[in-house]
């Protein structure tokens, strides 16, 4: 609905809400008569009078909480042209609060509307008396995420704040500007301040001591993601305890380097880069290829070189996806209904490894899981139970007459000892010799395992996995930007982050960490627990990781964690990954039958279709552990085309839960009809916002020298 008005006198302007009021020429638009009398209060600041005036005149505010949307564009979108109908919105102009009706907002160019038919809640009201008691109140909404949230999670909540007086004699186009500040902050020097609930904001520097403390705390809470992947992979690859320690040190080094690169040249959000569980399942598929099962000599190095070559090829594809700007196109098709089940499938895929491994020693693993749930900090609970397990080992709880835990199970002759060999190797704390064999100082270097091996079949697998990792990162970028109370990044910034992740994974392939490098989804949980979102804190913590990677005994100590304890911690970490994935549904209408059906079908088929491929028997005389059987389908799956390389790749991909889940969710979400607000279509900031908003400029823009270089090469897709 539209309206026309002449110039408002200064008295009525000072008593009205600072909203956009569109001028006109006297013609009818949208079915509303031309002239509207100005509001004149009969009593002192009576809200009811102003509401009744708004109803009588057909006044509709075009205020929008959506990022980067102008008032006039919003007004026209609601029927300012062509006699369209008005939206279901009624704003209390005095207290700055909408009634409990669902609202729909659109941005220019057909961008998505507010999600869930969200409700603007009143956050607060400030009044400032000027010029003899005249007061002026303005709507103050949080435009940082392009939407307002029904669940009240702190993003997109409107508030009321004082605005400056209009200068006398200043004339415009009939629009009165609305000042928009983040929640819980006051406007100061044109920037955004630390949001409520955080100890340390994105751009804050808490000082040297807090930087070190928070930096170490940040990475300690990610121990499960950073160091436990080698404990799963390396023994399966035939590696020794020393190899496990070396891979852990390499992962620490790469995580530090790539996190610093991402903090300065990526999205610049406080996100930790490292070995991701997205790459663990495909790595296990390659490790269990038929030709590697019976290898005895240099098995570990050969498989590691195979993984390096596949990771490098997949990472090059990911870099091209970002550098070419194709990621900006894909962002239109990647929404919460796609991200949520895909990330959830990453965690749920390892249910066959979790408790079957942890159940070997329930006397230590059950208390471990309980303490992780109580403290929500992995290092503390792991240290307590590790000490407890050491007492059990020293007390003889895992001693069996005539049995030696250091003898491989294949060489054990006594049936009684063979029965207890698995328990001794997975529960005792003195089995690993990593501390005794590792050097005090060792610097990870490229090609430390040899020249990478490139094969078509493994490269195709990692190309698809790199796409899954990109979808995972998109969801993390979006959620973290809202978590630190910033506007979402632009598509160019997202492309920049994905491109840099691809480059960092190339480094991981060259150094030989066994997996690619990507944004850790668990980082969102870390920020929520520690309440620290400073970019500098993450960088300082990354510097400590690099330092620890040079100390060989640190990696050796972490490699000495008993297998059962590692499995019990991973039960929590994988469950957390699944939960964080499903939490993306809060950006859509989670009660929509369409969305529920798509997510349910995607997850079920994502579990069931791989189970069909995994049921084929392994063609080998070597008996695999039960938790590795699902990853052996690549060599014996049902797909037979006559081309061995293609057969291996297709069977491998269709046996991966996350790949099937992504394909099903992507297909259904982009073909089944649904409104944009129902689907929860991600609303990203626009490139113009960075150049006009000083706060966004400091949050997402690259360093000045890098910007000059990018501008010379016309890299506009990077959002510079």
Tens-place pLDDT, residues 663-711? 999 999 999 999 988 998 888 887 777 667 777 777 888 887 676 666 6
Confidence at residue 95, expressed as pLDDT on a 0 to 100 scale: 37
Least confident of 172-176, 383-387, 603-607, 616-620: 172-176
Binning pLDDT at 50, 70 and 90, where does residue 160 land?
Answer: very low
Q: Which residues of 684-718 are buried (b: 16+ CB within 10 A; e: fewer)?
A: bbbbebbeebebbeebbbbeeeeeeebeeeebebb
Contact 218, 541 (CB under 8 A): yes
* Cβ neighbours for 108, distance < 8 A, ≥ 6 positions apart: 69, 70, 73, 77
* Residue of 92, 65, 70, 62 lying closest to 148 (CA atoms): 65
Report which listed range, 19-28, 115-124, 531-540, 602-611, is most confident: 602-611
- Residue 384: the pLDDT is 93
pLDDT for 537:
92
Is the separation of the CB atoms in 281 and 351 below 8 Å? no
Whether residue 160 contacts residue 124, with contact meaning beta carbons closer than 8 Å, is answered with yes
Stated pTM of the model: 0.73
What per-residue confidence (pLDDT) applies to 161? 39
Q: Which residue has the higher pLDDT, 324 or 20?
A: 324
Expressed in percent and rounded to 5, the helix, strand and coil fractions of the chain are: 55, 5, 40
Confidence of residue 634 (pLDDT cuts 50, 70, 90): confident
Residue 134, pLDDT above cutoff 50? no
Calculate mean pLDDT across residues 380-408: 87
* Rounded Cα distance, 119 and 676, in Å: 16
- Position 707 scores a pLDDT of 67
If one compares 97 and 486, the residue with the highest pLDDT of the two is: 486
Instruction: Work out the average pLDDT over 518-522.
Output: 89
- The mean pLDDT value for 514-526 works out to 88
> Is the CA virtual torsion 291, 292, 297, 301 positive or negative?
positive
> What's the rounded mean pLDDT across residues 462-482?
93
Encode pLDDT of 289-319 as tens digits.
888 887 877 899 999 999 999 999 999 999 9
The answer to which of 586-600, 604-618, 680-694 has the lowest mean pLDDT is: 680-694
Identify the band that residue 178 occupies on the pLDDT scale cut at 50, 70 and 90.
very low
* Mean pLDDT value across the chain: 76
pLDDT for position 109: 41
pLDDT at 539: 94
Give CA–CA dist 512/451, Å, rounded.
10
Rounded to whole angstroms, how far apart are CA atoms 83 and 88? 16
Q: Phi first, then psi: what are they for 660, rounded to 5°?
A: -65, -40
Query: Are 668 and 602 within 8 A, CB to CB?
Result: yes
Higher pLDDT, 637 or 605: 605
pLDDT (average), residues 102-114: 41
Bridge partner residues of 518 (DSSP): 274
Strongest mean pLDDT among 43-57, 157-171, 418-432: 418-432
Name the range with the highest mean pLDDT among 153-157, 272-276, 397-401: 272-276
In this predicted structure, the answer to whether residue 256 has a pLDDT above a threshold of 70 is: yes
In this predicted structure, the answer to whether residue 38 has a pLDDT above a threshold of 80 is no
**What torsion do the CA atoms of 586, 587, 589, 590 make, to the nearest 10 degrees?**
-30
Write the pLDDT tens digit of every residue in 44-78. Answer: 555 556 556 655 665 555 443 333 444 444 444 44
**pLDDT tens digits for range 233-254:** 999 999 999 999 999 999 999 9
CA–CA separation, 523 vs 215, rounded Å?
13
Identify which has the larger pLDDT, 493 or 198.
493
More confident residue, 501 or 99: 501
Task: Report d(CA 407, CA 404) in Å as an integer.
Answer: 6
């Amino acid at each position: 609905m539209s309206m026309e008005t002449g110039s408002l006198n200064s008295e009525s302007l000072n008593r009205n809400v600072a909203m956009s009021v569109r001028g006109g020429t006297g013609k009818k638009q949208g079915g509303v008569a031309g002239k509207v009398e100005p509001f004149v209060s009969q009593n002192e600041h009576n809200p009811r009078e102003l509401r009744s005036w708004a109803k009588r005149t057909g006044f509709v505010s075009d205020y929008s909480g959506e990022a980067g949307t102008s008032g006039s564009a919003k007004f026209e979108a609601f029927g300012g042209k062509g006699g369209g109908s008005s939206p279901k919105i009624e704003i209390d102009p005095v207290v700055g609060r909408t009634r409990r009706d669902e609202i729909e907002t659109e941005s220019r160019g057909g961008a998505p509307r507010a999600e869930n038919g969200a409700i603007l809640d009143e956050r607060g009201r400030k009044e400032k008396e000027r010029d003899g008691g005249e007061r002026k109140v303005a709507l103050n909404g949080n435009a940082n995420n392009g939407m307002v949230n029904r669940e009240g999670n702190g993003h997109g909540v409107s508030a009321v704040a004082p605005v400056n007086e209009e200068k006398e004699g200043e004339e415009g186009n009939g629009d009165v500007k609305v000042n928009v500040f983040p929640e819980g902050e006051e406007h100061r020097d044109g920037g955004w301040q630390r949001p409520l609930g955080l100890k340390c904001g994105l751009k804050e520097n808490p000082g040297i001591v807090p930087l070190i403390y928070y930096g170490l705390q940040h990475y300690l809470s990610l121990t499960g993601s950073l160091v436990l992947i080698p404990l799963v992979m390396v023994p399966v690859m035939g590696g020794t305890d020393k190899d496990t320690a070396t891979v852990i040190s390499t992962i620490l080094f790469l995580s530090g380097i790539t996190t610093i690169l991402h903090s300065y040249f990526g999205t610049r959000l406080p996100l930790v880069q490292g070995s991701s569980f997205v790459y663990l399942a495909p790595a296990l598929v390659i490790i269990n290829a038929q030709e590697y099962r019976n290898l005895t000599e240099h098995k570990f190095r050969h498989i590691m070189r195979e993984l390096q070559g596949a990771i490098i090829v997949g990472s090059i594809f990911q870099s091209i996806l970002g550098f070419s700007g194709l990621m900006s196109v894909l962002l239109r098709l990647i929404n919460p209904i796609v991200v949520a089940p895909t990330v959830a499938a990453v965690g749920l895929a390892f249910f066959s490894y979790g408790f079957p491994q942890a159940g070997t020693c329930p006397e230590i693993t059950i208390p471990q899981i309980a303490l992780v749930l109580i403290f929500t900090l992995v290092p503390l609970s792991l240290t307590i139970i590790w000490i407890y397990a050491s007492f059990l080992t020293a007390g003889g709880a895992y001693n069996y007459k005539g049995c030696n835990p250091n003898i491989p199970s294949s060489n054990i002759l006594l049936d009684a000892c063979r029965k207890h060999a698995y328990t001794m190797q997975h529960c005792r704390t003195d089995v690993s010799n990593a501390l005794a064999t590792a050097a005090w100082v060792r610097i990870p270097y490229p090609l430390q395992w040899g020249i990478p091996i490139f094969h078509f079949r493994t490269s195709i697998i990692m190309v698809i996995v790199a796409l899954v990792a990109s979808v995972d990162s998109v969801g993390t970028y979006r959620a973290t930007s809202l978590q630190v109370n910033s506007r979402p990044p632009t598509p160019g910034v997202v492309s920049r982050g994905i491109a840099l992740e691809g480059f960092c994974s190339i480094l991981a392939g060259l150094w030989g960490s066994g997996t690619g490098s990507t944004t850790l989804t668990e980082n969102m949980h870390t920020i929520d627990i520690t309440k620290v979102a400073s970019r500098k804190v993450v960088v300082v913590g990354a510097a400590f990781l690099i330092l620890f990677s040079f100390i060989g005994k640190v990696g050796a100590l972490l490699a000495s964690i008993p297998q059962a304890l590692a499995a019990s911690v991973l039960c929590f970490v994988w469950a957390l990954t699944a939960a964080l994935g499903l939490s993306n549904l809060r950006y859509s209408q989670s009660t929509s039958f369409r969305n529920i059906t798509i997510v349910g079908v995607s997850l079920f088929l994502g579990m069931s279709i791989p189970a069909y491929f995994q049921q084929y028997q392994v063609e080998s005389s070597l008996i695999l552990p039960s938790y590795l059987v699902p990853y052996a389908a690549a060599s014996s799956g049902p797909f037979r085309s006559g081309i061995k390389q293609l057969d291996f790749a297709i069977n491998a991909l269709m046996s991966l839960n996350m790949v099937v889940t992504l394909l099903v969710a992507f297909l259904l979400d982009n073909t089944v009809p649904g409104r944009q607000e129902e689907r929860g279509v991600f609303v990203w900031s626009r490139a113009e916002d960075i150049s006009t908003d000083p706060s966004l400029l400091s949050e997402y823009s690259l360093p000045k020298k890098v910007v000059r270089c990018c501008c010379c090469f016309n890299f506009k897709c990077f959002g510079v």
